[in-house]
Structure 1
Amino acid sequence: MTPQENTSTNTNPVRILVVDDHPNTATTLARALSQLGSGVNVISASSGHDALEKVKTNGVDILFTDMIMPEMTGLELIEKMQNHPAGRPSYTYLVTAYDVPGLKVTAHRLKVNEVIVKPVRPERICQIATNAIEEMKHSTHPIKQSAVARKKFKILVADDRPDNITLLTRYLEYEGYEHIAARDGLETLDKVRAELPDLVLLDVNMPHKDGFAVLEDIRSDPSVQHIPVIILTAARLDPSDVQSGLNLGADDYVTKPFDRHELMARIRTKLRVKETEDIIRRRNRELNLLPEIGKELSARTDIKDLANILIKRTVETLGAIQGNMIIFDANGGPGQNYQVPLSTESSSGLMTIPKISSGILRKLIRV
Structure 2
Amino acid sequence: MEDTKTNITPFSFELVAQDGSARAGILHTPHGDIHTPIFMPVGTQATVKALTPAQLQELEVQILLSNTYHLYLRPGPDVVADMGGLHKFMDWPKPILTDSGGFQVFSMGTLRAIDEEGVTFKSHIDGSTHRFTPEFSISIQEKLGADIIMAFDECPDPQDKEYNMRAMERTHRWAERCLKAKTRADQALFGIVQGGIFPDLRRQSAEFLASLDFPGYGIGGLSVGESKADMLATIEVVTALLPENKPRYLMGVGTPYDLVESIYRGVDMFDCVLPTRLARHHAAQTLQGRMNLANAAYIRDEHPIDPLCTCYTCTHFSRAYLRHLVSTKEILGATLLSIHNIHTLLELSQRIRESIINHKYSELRQELLRNLEQ
Same fold (TM over 0.5): no
Q: Which structure's CA Rg is the greater one?
A: 1
Higher helix proportion, which one? 1
Q: TM-score, normalised by structure 1?
A: 0.25
Q: TM-score, normalised by structure 2?
A: 0.25
Higher relative contact order (CA 8 A, sep 6+): 2
